[in-house]
Amino acid sequence: MATDSTSIAILRYIKEIHRKHGERQLKVKASGPVAFRLLGEDNDKVKKLTSQLNMEVEIEEDLDLHIEDFKIISMKDRREVLLEEEED
């Protein structure tokens, strides 16, 4: 199901953002079903990750986003955090 894979992608993205940019406070904007999954069924994974990385992550529903889309915003400067594609 798409909510599963999007939720996993978000958790990986958070980890990579922390590793590359040192961000400690993020806001995740996701479609309703994905936001509810992150706040419900996958909340233990979110809590474990944020605890391990000493981070704060806020989850917010964005009705304009499709199920596979999400945005991650730095709470420090209110900008969307983007990861550049790495070349192999």
d(CA 77, CA 53): 20
Query: How much is the pTM?
Result: 0.88
- pLDDT confidence of residue 86: 43
Where helices occur in 22-70 by DSSP H, the ranges are 32-39, 43-53
Q: 22: domain range?
A: 2-74
Tens digits of pLDDT across the chain (88 residues): 589 999 999 999 999 999 998 999 999 999 999 999 999 999 999 999 999 999 999 999 999 999 999 999 999 999 988 876 543 3
pLDDT value of position 1? 58
**pLDDT of 81:** 86
**Count of structural domains, the chain:** 1
59-60-62-65 Cα dihedral, nearest 10 degrees: 0
Which tokens is 11 given? Answer: 């958790």
State the pairing for strand pair 25-30/56-61. parallel
Asked if residue 55 belongs to a domain, the reply is yes
1 is written with which tokens? 């199901």
CATH number of 40's domain: 3.40.1260.20
Cα distance between residue 72 and residue 87, in whole Å: 22
